Amino acid sequence: MFCAATSCQTGASDETTQTDAVSSEPEVTAAVATEKRPAPEFFAIPEEMLKKRVWICEDNQSDIFHVKHDCPILVQCKGKGTFRNLLLPRAIEDYGRYNCQECSEDLDFIFDQDAVRELGK
């Protein structure tokens, strides 16, 4: 998919008479793809949070999960993508999501490699 977008951009730059609407579409697609961060390499979810449910927006650009269904950032997804309610581990493992700084800032410790953690009892 990226190769196709790149080849379209190259063709658009070769033909200077092409309209902006046609040539800007591949650039928008490439920009959206680069905004999304790579999936978290490290995360540690406490046992008591394994059943916690979170919300995500599937819009090919969002890379965060939300603990509140009415989070202002999640509400912006309306009309741009679909909402999904998932278990926290699945949101991170399968969808590569990080915590929202608006509604779940207190979950930063999940991604902190240097945090001191209590071993399971």
The answer to whether residue 79 sits within a structural domain is yes
Q: Do 71 and 107 fall within a single domain? A: yes
Antiparallel, parallel or unpaired: β 64-66 and 53-58 = antiparallel
Helices marked H in 1-121 — which ranges?
A: 2-14, 20-35, 72-75, 88-93
Q: What is the pLDDT of residue 60?
A: 86
DSSP designation for 104: -
The 10s digit of each residue's pLDDT in 56-95 is 999 888 999 999 999 999 999 999 989 999 999 999 999 9
The answer to whether residue 83 sits within a structural domain is yes
Q: Do 17 and 58 fall within a single domain? A: no
| 24 SS3 class | helix
C-alpha–C-alpha distance, residues 79 and 29, integer Å: 18
The answer to whether residue 70 sits within a structural domain is yes
Residue span of the structural domain in which 24 resides:
2-35
Does position 13 have pLDDT exceeding 90, yes or no? no
The 10s digit of each residue's pLDDT in 23-34 is 334 333 333 344
Q: What is the pLDDT of residue 52?
A: 97
